[in-house]
Copies of this chain bind each other. A is one copy, B any other.
């Protein structure tokens, strides 16, 4: 009497749901234990043709679906506690599902983030994966976007702009000496979960960069009631991104207004930076000071080494 949906779940996803609260995916709902901490809740969906390409390897699609959410939890200072998954599929493709489930299983292990439940539905449209992830954090310690203070320094992890370049390479709009690195950065975000504690100990405001550094920083500034100045030369760039910029193949807006970075962007008083950097180094995550919070109303100015403003043509990616 088992339906196709049930066998799909029992074959591919039940083996991943080893947490006791998931009830082996054989119940209506899951149970998450609590102990007076705060739960940070984040939901992010990825759509075929928008956030990933139809021929991206299915395991990387699973990585992207979960990691975009883990990136938000890390930016808030929270440790992963579990997630639920909604999968909207056009058809049942066993090879795709097997690879997708394998990728998901790898991340469940890597990030210690159990699969608690999900829903599988059919759609005539593009494949869509919606994840809601939960993170635990001591009560009242969630680091918000609001909170940046005039004089705070601005820190970003990893490198900026690679994913946008990787997408351009995949779409045949760009060539690079290291296309593999850029494509990997587009397909497989590296959520900075290892920095969650450093963020909650030091940052006054924090968010993850997903729609472009410039636009995302403007949002942080907007809710904090401040403005920002970024020194373009201090932006952390990968070697291929630097090479493309130096060769004039791309402008700086390609790097700071592209999407899919999934790095942490945070602010902190100058005296906190050394401790934050030490924790980042210990965690094996690169981090760089890129500018300063100033008085103003949500403006983000990019300046060159001489302090001259660099005009940007666009700031971020939007769906509508």
Kindly state the separation between the CA atoms of A285 and B106 in the bound complex, as whole angstroms.
46
Interface with B: A23-31, A186-194, A239-247, A269-277, which one? A23-31
8 A Cβ contacts from A51-72 to B:
51, 72
Q: Min CB distance, A80 to chain B, in Å? A: 12
A130 touches B86 (CB 8 A): yes
B43 touches A319 (CB 8 A): no
Residue of B nearest to A30 (CB): B41
From known contacts A1-B218, A31-B40, infer whether A26 and B223 are also in contact, taking CB-CB under 8 Å: yes
Kindly state the separation between the CA atoms of A192 and B183 in the bound complex, as whole angstroms.
49
8 A Cβ contacts from A107-138 to B:
116-126, 128, 130, 132, 134-135
A4 touches B319 (CB 8 A): yes
Query: This chain: how many copies in the complex?
Result: 2
Kindly state the separation between the CA atoms of A218 and B6 in the bound complex, as whole angstroms.
12
Q: Min CB distance, A160 to chain B, in Å? A: 17
A158 contacts partner chain B, Cβ-Cβ < 8 Å: no
Residues in chain B near residue A1, CB distance under 8 A = 215, 218, 298, 315-316
From known contacts A27-B144, A223-B26, A319-B120, infer whether A39 and B34 are also in contact, taking CB-CB under 8 Å: yes
Partner of A320, one of B3, B84, B126, B218: B3
B119 touches A43 (CB 8 A): yes
Residue of B nearest to A8 (CB): B320
B39 touches A73 (CB 8 A): no
A238 contacts partner chain B, Cβ-Cβ < 8 Å: no
A119 touches B31 (CB 8 A): no
A35 contacts partner chain B, Cβ-Cβ < 8 Å: yes
A292 contacts partner chain B, Cβ-Cβ < 8 Å: no
B26 touches A42 (CB 8 A): no
A118 touches B8 (CB 8 A): no
Kindly state the separation between the CA atoms of A155 and B211 in the bound complex, as whole angstroms.
50
Residues in chain B near residue A319, CB distance under 8 A = 3-5, 120-122
From known contacts A1-B315, A122-B47, infer whether A36 and B39 are also in contact, taking CB-CB under 8 Å: no
A173 contacts partner chain B, Cβ-Cβ < 8 Å: no
B128 touches A320 (CB 8 A): no
B142 touches A88 (CB 8 A): no
- Bits for A213-255, please: 1 = Cβ < 8 Å to B, else 0: 0010011001100000000000000000000000000000000
Residues in chain B near residue A102, CB distance under 8 A = none
B45 touches A86 (CB 8 A): yes
Partner of A43, one of B38, B132, B223: B132
A179 contacts partner chain B, Cβ-Cβ < 8 Å: no
The interface of chain A, by Cβ under 8 A from chain B, is 1, 3-6, 8, 23, 26-47, 49-51, 72-73, 75-76, 78, 82, 84-86, 88-89, 92, 116-126, 128, 130, 132, 134-135, 139, 142, 144-146, 207-208, 211, 215, 218-219, 222-223, 298, 315-320
Ranked nearest first, the 3 interchain pairs of A and B with the lowest CB-CB distance are: A125-B125, A3-B318, A34-B34
